[in-house]
Amino acid sequence: MHTTHTELGINSIAELVKQQRVFFKTNATKSIDFRVTQLKALKSSITQYEVQMLAALHQDLGKSDAEAFLTEIAITKQEIDNALKHLKKWTAPQRVKTPLQLQPAQSYRIAEPYGVVLVVAPWNYPIQLALLPIVGVIAAGNTVVLKPSEVASASSKVLKEMLVNTFEENFVAVVEGGIEEAKALMSERFDYIFFTGSTHVGQIYYQAAAKHLTPVTLELGGKSPCIVEADANLKKTAERIIFGKYLNCGQTCIAPDYLLVNQKVKKELIAELKNAVEKMYTQNSATCEWYPRIINEHHFNRLIALIEPEKVIYGGTFDQSKLYIAPTFMDNVAKEDAVMREEIFGPILPIITVDNVTEAIDFINEGEKPLALYIFSKSQQIINQVFEATSFGSACVNDTIIQISNKNLPFGGVGKSGIGSYHGRYSFETFSHYKSIMKQASFEPTSRFRFAPWNYKLLRQIFKYL
């Protein structure tokens, strides 16, 4: 039996899920007042635990307070504020049009919570990627069991402490642990599963969900390409690529994984990329307070094995005792190289040379559909050409990563980079089932056409005009 030690004395995962379902069925989570109170409680707990969370993020990933605040704390609080601001509108029944032949009936959609939700989080943004979905879960009126990643153990511990001290466990619960605990969770019946992590593990959750036809959101990974066309402003391009690549030391799901650079500007771009690294992380990133570390030895060794020394044109140094890998550029990289056969998820930047944008498009389309795509160009025609020919979760033109911070853009992948999306209003929609309702009027002019005995000829005539 998988035991948990909780305030409620709930001592197994099965019992926890059962208690949450009992609580959900009381309808307490559906009241708007309840949702508002809980969202406010979450926000004030984040403020209360901010120092501990920043310390945990430093311990797990060597993130500076500034970076951790920007990418984990501030973004989560903004999500809560946005939900609080719009909750009334989101929860209101939505009128939809009723076609002429059905009038004067009325039609609308009502959002209802699914019930008991499982949220599984990864280690790379361990606070943000655990709490952001929970904001949507609460806003939509569900209960939630969170499984943080055991790999970011300090963050997992703080999350557990904060959430246990903020919520009753039959509403928001945390199950810490690794595969064993995850398996125990997967054997339970949830009403929704929201998973963020690797494609391979996402498939395991998808299979577990299929058993009960549980709906899922899968926020997965992949290799996100970054095209640099010959007409791009190279200084700005370099700064924005380095920002996106080296945030969290490359351990970002939407980091530009590799570059597809027009050969005409490759030399100049590489010079600017070096300048940008040194401007942001100094000439010695090993001693720079803004430069994070690799999460653990397993990933450190995996990354080191991807570096082919003869292809390194910048960086390439590392220190295992500190889990440090320098910003590393590799040139003349081929599709068959190890670094191009998996999602890098670290500070290695492969550079692939192309003659034109068509070649870049063909390269991308030979792989899986990416989570993100980046294109640097001044030409709207080239940008359109790329967007028409490729499929991806989200894109940013002339920048990287920041598309994720616009709450009005849904965030998610496609194909092997994911199923579904969230953020802002889209989170509320993700964790809501919409009931479609039509209210018939007592006077219905068309009833004589739809009830037998039918006039088949007349019926066909009428449908010609509908």
Q: Which stretch binds ligand NAD (CB under 6 A): 81-89, 215-223, 329-337, 384-392?
A: 215-223
Q: Which stretch binds ligand NAD (CB under 6 A): 12-20, 70-78, 214-222, 362-370?
A: 214-222
**219 catalytic per annotation:** yes
Point out the catalytic residue in the list 226, 249, 253, 396.
Answer: 253
State yes or no: residue 220 binds ligand NAD (CB under 6 A): yes
Q: How far is the CB of 211 from ligand NAD (least distance, A)?
A: 14
378-399 per-residue burial string, b: 16 or more CB within 10 A, e: under 16: eeeebbebbeeebebbbbbeeb
Torsional sign, CA 51, 155, 35, 170: negative
Q: How far is the CB of 370 from ligand NAD (least distance, A)?
A: 10
Q: How far is the CB of 246 from ligand NAD (least distance, A)?
A: 16
Pick from 147, 223, 311, 416 the residue near ligand NAD by CB under 6 A: 147
Torsional sign, CA 378, 379, 384, 390: negative
Residue pair 191/115 in contact by the 8 Å Cβ criterion? yes
Residue pair 124/136 in contact by the 8 Å Cβ criterion? no
Chain residue whose CB lies nearest ligand NAD: 221
| Helix, strand, coil share (%) of the chain residues, nearest 5 | 50, 20, 35
Cis upstream peptide for 104 (omega within 30°)? yes
State yes or no: residue 422 binds ligand NAD (CB under 6 A): no
Q: Indicate the SS3 state at residue 3.
A: coil
Pick from 113, 136, 141, 221 the residue near ligand NAD by CB under 6 A: 221
State yes or no: residue 418 binds ligand NAD (CB under 6 A): yes
State yes or no: residue 419 binds ligand NAD (CB under 6 A): no
Pick from 131, 182, 333, 340 the residue near ligand NAD by CB under 6 A: 182
Residue pair 297/324 in contact by the 8 Å Cβ criterion? no
Pick from 76, 170, 196, 400 the residue near ligand NAD by CB under 6 A: 196
Q: Which stretch binds ligand NAD (CB under 6 A): 78-86, 136-144, 197-205, 238-246?
A: 197-205
Pick from 343, 361, 374, 416 the residue near ligand NAD by CB under 6 A: 343
State yes or no: residue 123 binds ligand NAD (CB under 6 A): yes
Query: How many residues interact with ligand NAD (rule CB under 6 A)?
Result: 27
Q: Which stretch binds ligand NAD (CB under 6 A): 52-60, 92-100, 135-143, 148-156?
A: 148-156
Closest to ligand NAD by CB, 188 vs 272, is 188
Q: Which stretch binds ligand NAD (CB under 6 A): 75-83, 219-227, 265-273, 350-358?
A: 219-227
Residues numbered 93-122 forming contacts with ligand NAD, rule: CB under 6 A? 120-122
Residue pair 245/349 in contact by the 8 Å Cβ criterion? yes
State yes or no: residue 245 binds ligand NAD (CB under 6 A): no
State yes or no: residue 149 binds ligand NAD (CB under 6 A): yes
Residue pair 402/256 in contact by the 8 Å Cβ criterion? no
State yes or no: residue 345 binds ligand NAD (CB under 6 A): yes
Counting Cβ atoms within 10 Å, is residue 241 exposed (0-12), middle (13-18) or buried (19+)? buried
State yes or no: residue 371 binds ligand NAD (CB under 6 A): yes
Residue pair 421/410 in contact by the 8 Å Cβ criterion? yes
Residue pair 286/249 in contact by the 8 Å Cβ criterion? no
Q: What is the DSSP string of 408-459?
A: TS-EE--GGGEE-EESTHHHHHHTEEEEEEEE--S--TTHHHHSSSP-HHHH
CA distance linking residue 311 with residue 332, whole number of Å: 7
Q: How far is the CB of 196 from ligand NAD (least distance, A)?
A: 5
Closest CA to 133 of 434, 424, 413: 424
Q: What is the DSSP string of 214-277?
A: --EEEE-----EEEE-TTS-HHHHHHHHHHHHHGGGG--TTS--EEEEEGGGHHHHHHHHHHHH
Residue pair 226/400 in contact by the 8 Å Cβ criterion? yes
Residue pair 306/284 in contact by the 8 Å Cβ criterion? no
State yes or no: residue 198 binds ligand NAD (CB under 6 A): yes
Q: Which stretch binds ligand NAD (CB under 6 A): 18-26, 195-203, 234-242, 302-310?
A: 195-203
Pick from 253, 303, 352, 396 the residue near ligand NAD by CB under 6 A: 253
**Which residues would be at the binding site for ligand NAD (CB under 6 A)?**
120-124, 129, 147, 149-151, 178-179, 182, 196-198, 201, 204, 219-221, 253, 343, 345, 371, 413, 418
Catalytic residues, by residue number, are: 219, 253
